[in-house]
Amino acid sequence: MGQVGEAVAGAFADLGASLVLVDRTAENVEARASDLVAAGKSARGYGCDLSRADDLAALAERVQREHGSRLAALVHMAGGFAMSGAVAESSVDVWNRQITINLTTAYLTSRAFLPMLRAGKGALVFFASEAALPGKAGSNRSAYAVAKSGVVSLMQSIAAEERANGVRANAVAPTSIRTAANVAAMGENVRYVEREEVAAAVTFLCSENASAITGQVVLLS
């Protein structure tokens, strides 16, 4: 789990949530879950490649078996950023990678866990980006912008399809978040969104206070 994921998980844990943490590397996520348990929180860690439908189906079955059939909330944070270059000279490999890690994982994860969200009348929160907003795509990052725009469209489709089932879907769209990697790459003279701000927005969207909010993108800047 990255620093943003740790902040979001910690915020939910502080609210008393029972957490199911997922990362591609089981060792890393299990260590993070152990840290939360040592602090008196409820957490389990699972390794899974979210770009593989069969792996996600197996994960959903295991989570249901070990934690019950209801999910109160699902937060999809898998993804990453890379410059793809101007479209005329862009990298096909970067394009495919950005679509896979940002959009395909969001689709497959929501598809696998929507039955449990329906059972729990739960909330689904995706991570979009300002690059997905009108007029914000910019140059040399078309793959990332398209992937995150796809995440927004996926979220809006789920919001419309699942409203009658009691499931809400929204997205947060942060600008640059203060992480060690971002500060190393961009320096300190940047307006960062603090990790705690991101966590507060996500937990709010999953709370009863946001029960009337669905199909929305919340810009964090």
Q: Among all residues, which ones are annotated catalytic?
A: 144
Give the DSSP letter of residue 173. Answer: E
* Helix or strand holding residue 105 (H, E): helix 105-120
3 state SS of 11? helix
Q: Within the chain, what is the greatest distance between any pair of CA atoms?
A: 53
Residues 10, 16, 17: CA angle, nearest 5 degrees: 75
Q: How far apart are the first and last CA of the chain?
A: 23
SS3 content of the chain, % helix, strand, coil (to 5): 55, 15, 30
Phi, psi (rounded to 5 degrees) for 82: -155, 140
Phi, psi (rounded to 5 degrees) for 69: -90, 0
